[in-house]
């Protein structure tokens, strides 16, 4: 049971997306696409560990699209 005030949903003009159940063949196919290099993550930026503070600032700014990666 989830308590949810539906007014929050429509008054803020929110969108709810996503499947609740997927076909069994979807995940193996997706993994195949990833392994074949057909699907890749979107990287917004990569930072060295010494640039962790810069990475955190970029993350908090929320002006990026994709993942922010910190490499040790």
Tens digits of per-residue pLDDT, 34-69?
999 999 889 999 999 999 999 999 999 999 999 999
User: Does residue 69 sit within a domain?
Assistant: yes
User: Does residue 19 sit within a domain?
Assistant: no
In this prediction, residue 19 has a pLDDT band, given cuts at 50, 70 and 90, of: confident
In this prediction, residue 10 has a pLDDT band, given cuts at 50, 70 and 90, of: confident
User: Does residue 7 sit within a domain?
Assistant: no
Task: Please state the domain count of the chain.
Answer: 1
**Which ranges of 14-62 would DSSP assign to H, the alpha helix?**
26-35, 52-61
Residue 50 is given by DSSP the state G
User: Does residue 11 sit within a domain?
Assistant: no
Number of neighbours of residue 55 by Cβ within 10 angstroms: 19
User: Does residue 51 sit within a domain?
Assistant: yes
Tell me the residue range of the domain where 61 lies.
40-72
User: Does residue 56 sit within a domain?
Assistant: yes
User: Does residue 4 sit within a domain?
Assistant: no
The reported pLDDT for the residue numbered 60 is 96
User: Does residue 24 sit within a domain?
Assistant: no
């Amino acid at each position: 049971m989830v308590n949810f005030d539906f007014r929050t949903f429509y008054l803020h003009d929110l969108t709810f997306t996503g499947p609740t159940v997927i076909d069994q063949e979807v995940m193996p196919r997706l993994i195949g696409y990833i392994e074949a290099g057909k699907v890749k993550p979107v990287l917004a930026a990569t930072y060295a560990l010494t640039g962790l503070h810069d990475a955190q600032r970029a993350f908090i700014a929320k002006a990026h699209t994709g993942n922010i990666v910190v490499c040790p």
